[in-house]
Amino acid sequence: MRVLGIDTSCDETSVALVERGKILAARVLGQEALHGPFGGVVPEIAARAHAERFLPALAGVLLKAGPPDAVAVTNRPGLVGPLLVGLSAAKAFAFAKGLPIVGVHHLEAHVAAAYLLDPPPEPPFIALIASGGHTLLYDVPERGRYRRLGQTVDDAAGECFDKIAALLGLPYPGGPSIEKAARDGDPRSVPLPRPLRDDPLDDFSFSGLKTAVLYRLKGQDARRGDPTKAGVGVSDLAASAQEAIADILSAKAVRAAGRLGRKRLVLGGGVAANTRLRELVAERGRAAGITVFIPPKALCTDNAAMVAARGAELLDLGVRDGFDLDADPYSE
């Protein structure tokens, strides 16, 4: 089945056509230049930009790959205005062409990005999804079933990257900026906490790490009478923060896989584009005898091919939605 995927949940207008795990055409129109001056995504600006960019993105995909057999659209969670643009367009297109439509959970789509790999991971497997708004571990015991093991109790890993980048005066989006700055830094130069890394539960916490960087910058340590710790460079702090986040994420994901006896681990979400995290997960997975599946970077950050992949899975399982399908911005 040829599935048209649509994602407008945040700040990428994305459309893709996927057939049996192969991407036939894909367009991702980013909005970084629009939101950069504000240091984060402005929902109203994002929704308007999606409305302007959606038809060119759709036309590009259809002209290259031809018509689809079904439509899969992200309807949850996300920013409500941006979600409604893609959802309304998806419903109009499906209605006009007489196609089935299925609503997709954005984070489950991040897991399904791995189904676009050759070979794809076969369940059972564990999936670590780390994005700008979410950080969670799924157990996927069988095709189509996503059981949540744990999630962040405060900030998401991507949010932590973004907030630390802002503290360091690095440009938005923060993750790629930190990764770039970290290349010239020493990851062992600044000792930073690893909240909940060794906790037996599968939940995450990143706000303490962000606060530790803030204190380091504002000189709390200096006030405490340890002036040798003041004056740390941006690249050393970036490298140390990146190492701490990659350490926490990789340690917890590999441990959960080991505890549940899963031999495969999938990595996804925008933070999975981070080279150090990819390395560390691959290294620790190998040491634990676990096969690690990491999609190429363009399929880790927001894209519509992953939505089509999750949609295809739902359609195969017989799931169909009606035209009363609504956006659910705060969906768990």
155 binds ligand KG4 (CB under 6 A): no
116 binds ligand KG4 (CB under 6 A): no
Closer by beta carbon to ligand KG4, 43 or else 176: 176
Span of 67-75, 181-189, 190-198, 263-271 interacting with ligand KG4 by CB under 6 A: 263-271
Residues 6-35 touching ligand KG4, rule: CB under 6 A, are 10
The minimum distance between CB 180 and ligand KG4, in angstroms, equals: 9
Instruction: Tell which residue, 287, 263, 238, 302, has the closest CA to residue 16.
Output: 302
The minimum distance between CB 301 and Zn ion, in angstroms, equals: 7
Indicate which of ligand KG4, Zn ion, none lies near residue 268 (CB less than 5 to 8 Å, by partner kind).
Answer: none
The minimum distance between CB 188 and Zn ion, in angstroms, equals: 31
302 binds Zn ion (CB under 5 A): yes
Per DSSP, helices labelled H in 133-206 are: 157-167, 174-182
Span of 113-121, 214-222, 227-235, 267-275 interacting with ligand KG4 by CB under 6 A: 267-275
* Contact criterion met (CB below 8 Å) for 13 and 29: yes
173 binds ligand KG4 (CB under 6 A): yes
Query: Which position among 77, 103, 133, 285 is part of the footprint of ligand KG4 (CB under 6 A)?
Result: 133
74 binds Zn ion (CB under 5 A): no
Closer by beta carbon to Zn ion, 302 or else 321: 302
Distance of alpha carbon 32 from alpha carbon 43, whole angstroms: 13
Instruction: Tell which residue, 54, 58, 61, 53, has the closest CA to residue 25.
Output: 61
162 binds ligand KG4 (CB under 6 A): yes
Query: What DSSP letter does each residue of 37-69 carry, written as one string?
Result: GGTS--HHHHHHHHHHHHHHHHHHHHHHH---S
Query: Which position among 131, 177, 205, 274 is part of the footprint of Zn ion (CB under 5 A)?
Result: 131
Residue 86 to residues 199, 288, 311: CA-CA distances in angstroms? 39, 41, 15
Closer by beta carbon to ligand KG4, 8 or else 301: 301
Please enumerate in sequence order all residues whose Cβ is within 8 A of that of 70, keeping only pairs 6 or more positions apart, or say none.
1, 2, 3, 4, 94, 99, 100, 101, 102, 311, 312, 315
82 binds ligand KG4 (CB under 6 A): no
Sheet with 291-293: strands ordered across: 147-151, 135-140, 125-130, 264-268, 291-293
Q: Which residue has the tokens 């000189």?
A: 219
Query: Which position among 121, 175, 195, 295 is part of the footprint of ligand KG4 (CB under 6 A)?
Result: 175
The minimum distance between CB 318 and ligand KG4, in angstroms, equals: 28
- Give the footprint of Zn ion on this chain (CB under 5 A): 131, 302
